[in-house]
Amino acid sequence: MKINKYFIILFFISILAFALRFYHLSSYPPLLWDEASLGYNAFSLLKTAKDEYGSFLPFILKSFGDYKPPLYTYLSIPFIALFGLNQLSIRLLSLIVGSLTPLFSYFLVKQINKDLRPQALLFAFLIAINPFNIHFSRGAWESNLLTFELILASYFFFKSLPSQIRPKIKLKFLFLSALIFGLSLYTYQAAKMMSLFLIFSLLLANYSHLQQLIRKSFIFLLPLAILSLPILFGLIFGSDSNRLKVVSLFSYPRPSADVQQIIQESDSANYQIFHSQPIFFTRNFFGRYFNHFSPRYLIFEGDWQNPRHSAIYTGVILYPSLIFFIIGFFSILNLKSSSKLGFFTHKSDIFFLLWLIFAPIPAALTRDSVQSVRAMSLSIPLMYFTALGIFQIYSLLKQRLLKLLFIIATSSIYLISFAYYSDLYYNHTVIRSPHDYLYGYTQAMQYFIDNLDSYDNVYFTNFYGQPYIYYLFLSQYPPKDYQQTASLIENNQGDTGTVENIGRIKFQAPNFDSLKDKPSTLVIYSNDEILRQGLNNRPEFSKFIPLSQIGQISTFYAYHND
């Protein structure tokens, strides 16, 4: 009955996780460029076995010139085959793995230590309601799939270890762990570091089994090596490393003017000792690293550099979680312990501590001061220590009444905090930051598609970037036809390239005055272009049709010159 009780609670946690992620998923948040790209490439692979540029079953997707790992796209093909190419079908994979993440997080902790079953249940519940995990489960985010893979691979690794019942390593689970770690390399760029870090953490946390693991290392290393070869080949000989060069912290040294000013203020020796490029990069790395543990990031503001990566005015975890996380973090130390684990109480404490330490590194090595997408797996150790903190306080209370009051108070605080987050997420975030969420692209492009056949000259603004992928996605443009004309103008200095036209469709917004001599013209302008050209102050503005009203503005307008 005790086991059944746990599984009943776990079942309801899984239902809750699914419901929070599925609610209004087909319409909210707005469809992003990368989602449209992943979706259309999956559609193209389904129809032709080639991506949008005609590459046969590619190991890397050129996409916008950012060279996306392809696993999310390949795994989305069945959903697009079943439900068609739409916003919901491309998000279903993320919804499913996001809903399964709490479940397998429970299995992971229970596999490490069966005595931590209550803590594992709370761990699963906290992941189910955590803003970090909900946010990236409601869109086609490869980092969400990667986080699930890291949990699943770790679970199989621990499951492969010897036990009192079976003293030998279970090779099939060790192989499955390696296979999933290998596949993670095709999921998201951060996996190239994070999977390696987590494998190291698993070995360190299971040092007592290291000799047995070394004897069976061939079973683990073989799938990893085979799956790594195409990645290494692409990094060395292909264009796969282009994206890494653009976003890498080391691609942005201190400007030469700053160097000269520092030298003028002192001398060259002073510069080399205190202000050299290695010191500059080291300081920037640690600044970015510790930003991910700051209260500003965790509870007050979230990803302040990339607003679409978190809800407005709140962080990536709920308010009470910060206090319980701190308590849980310090509770793992057992200075009086004489066990094989040294100062740590449980093996899981070592593993999740190492995960916590390593998780921000892929984000800290990039140019952004914080980066929630690359640091998403940080959510797992954060919630583990938060669960420990709640249980630590609960265990210190001896009287049943105090325990009951603590449960009621903690539940109430979490409920209020979650209600506040939900209100911000659904009612305020996109309205306050419509451009960051690319609000209106879907409505404007659908209007454009419905009307473009009636005009000889058709333009769609490129102000917000990548309008062509929305056209391909929403029109379900035949992939075979597009592959014959696909042409991306790559930008070696920026993140992505551009597509200037598809047939007679031009992805630009012409100067309004030039349209007087162009009858039979349809133009979609962005709100920013309306303001920059001062069109809102001209009498002709009455002819502009708002296509995506939100708050006090429309992000896109249509102009017909019949």
Q: Using one digit for the tens of pLDDT, what is the confidence trace for 376-417? A: 999 999 999 999 999 999 999 999 999 999 999 999 999 999
Render pLDDT for 141-168 as a digit per residue (tens, 0 to 9). 999 999 999 999 999 999 999 876 777 8
Residue 267's pLDDT is 79
**Structural domain containing residue 358:** 2-30+86-432
Q: Report the 10 Å Cβ neighbour count for 90.
A: 28
Residue that is last in its domain, among 372, 397, 432: 432
Do 219 and 264 lie in one domain? The reply is yes
Residue 244's pLDDT is 56
- Nearest one of 390, 526, 531, 510 to 445, comparing CA atoms: 526
- Name all contacts of 286-292 with Cβ < 8 Å and 24+ positions apart: 286/364, 287/369, 288/249, 288/360, 288/363, 288/364, 288/365, 288/366, 288/368, 288/369, 288/370, 289/360, 289/361, 289/364, 291/364, 291/369, 291/370, 292/359, 292/360, 292/363, 292/364, 292/370, 292/375, 292/378
Asked whether residue 81 is assigned to any structural domain, the reply reads no
Query: Cα 223 to the chain's mean position, in Å?
Result: 26
pLDDT for 228 beyond 80: yes
- Nearest one of 133, 154, 158, 160 to 144, comparing CA atoms: 133
Q: Which residues contact 535 (CB under 8 A, 6 or more apart)?
A: 512, 525, 529, 541, 544
Q: Under the phi-then-psi rule, with left for phi > 0, alpha for psi from -120 to 50, and beta for the rest, what region is 553?
A: beta
At residue 507 the predicted structure's pLDDT band, cuts being 50, 70 and 90, is very high
CA separation for the pair 378, 130 (Å, rounded): 12
Residue 1's pLDDT is 45
Do 107 and 217 lie in one domain? The reply is yes
Residue that is last in its domain, among 406, 432, 458: 432
For the segment 309-318, the average pLDDT, to the nearest whole number, is 95
Do 518 and 401 lie in one domain? The reply is no
Share of the chain above pLDDT 90, in %: 74
Our count of domains for the chain comes to 2
Render pLDDT for 7-29 as a digit per residue (tens, 0 to 9). 899 999 999 999 999 999 999 99
Do 452 and 400 lie in one domain? The reply is no
Please, are residues 304 and 436 in contact by the beta-carbon 8 Å criterion?
Answer: no
Do 411 and 541 lie in one domain? The reply is no
Residue 345 or residue 88, greater confidence: 88
Render pLDDT for 356-386 as a digit per residue (tens, 0 to 9). 999 999 999 988 899 999 999 999 999 999 9
Do 282 and 313 lie in one domain? The reply is yes
Please, are residues 289 and 364 in contact by the beta-carbon 8 Å criterion?
Answer: yes
Query: DSSP 3-state assignment of 508?
Result: coil
Do 354 and 484 lie in one domain? The reply is no
Query: DSSP 3-state assignment of 443?
Result: helix
Residue that is last in its domain, among 374, 397, 432: 432
Query: DSSP 3-state assignment of 16?
Result: helix
Q: Which of 249-258, 297-306, 345-354 shows the highest mean pLDDT?
A: 297-306
pLDDT averaged over the chain?
91
Asked whether residue 249 is assigned to any structural domain, the reply reads yes
Share of the chain above pLDDT 70, in %: 93
CA separation for the pair 140, 95 (Å, rounded): 8
Do 332 and 192 lie in one domain? The reply is yes
Asked whether residue 76 is assigned to any structural domain, the reply reads no
- Name all contacts of 485-492 with Cβ < 8 Å and 24+ positions apart: 486/52, 486/53, 486/54, 488/53, 488/62, 488/64, 488/65, 490/65, 491/65
Asked whether residue 333 is assigned to any structural domain, the reply reads yes
Do 424 and 447 lie in one domain? The reply is no
Do 382 and 455 lie in one domain? The reply is no
Asked whether residue 51 is assigned to any structural domain, the reply reads no
Residue 346's pLDDT is 80
In the Cβ-directed half-sphere of 45, how many Cα atoms lie within 13 Å?
Answer: 25
DSSP-derived secondary structure letter, 425: I
Identify the residue whose tokens are 């797992």: 380
- Look at strands 521-526 and 457-460 and give their pairing: parallel
Asked whether residue 379 is assigned to any structural domain, the reply reads yes
Please, are residues 388 and 332 in contact by the beta-carbon 8 Å criterion?
Answer: yes
Asked whether residue 328 is assigned to any structural domain, the reply reads yes
Do 333 and 465 lie in one domain? The reply is no
Asked whether residue 457 is assigned to any structural domain, the reply reads yes
pTM: predicted TM-score of the whole model, two decimal places? 0.93
At residue 517 the predicted structure's pLDDT band, cuts being 50, 70 and 90, is confident
Do 478 and 413 lie in one domain? The reply is no
Render pLDDT for 172-191 as a digit per residue (tens, 0 to 9). 999 999 999 999 999 998 99
Residue 253's pLDDT is 74
CA separation for the pair 144, 154 (Å, rounded): 16
Residue 544's pLDDT is 95
At residue 263 the predicted structure's pLDDT band, cuts being 50, 70 and 90, is confident
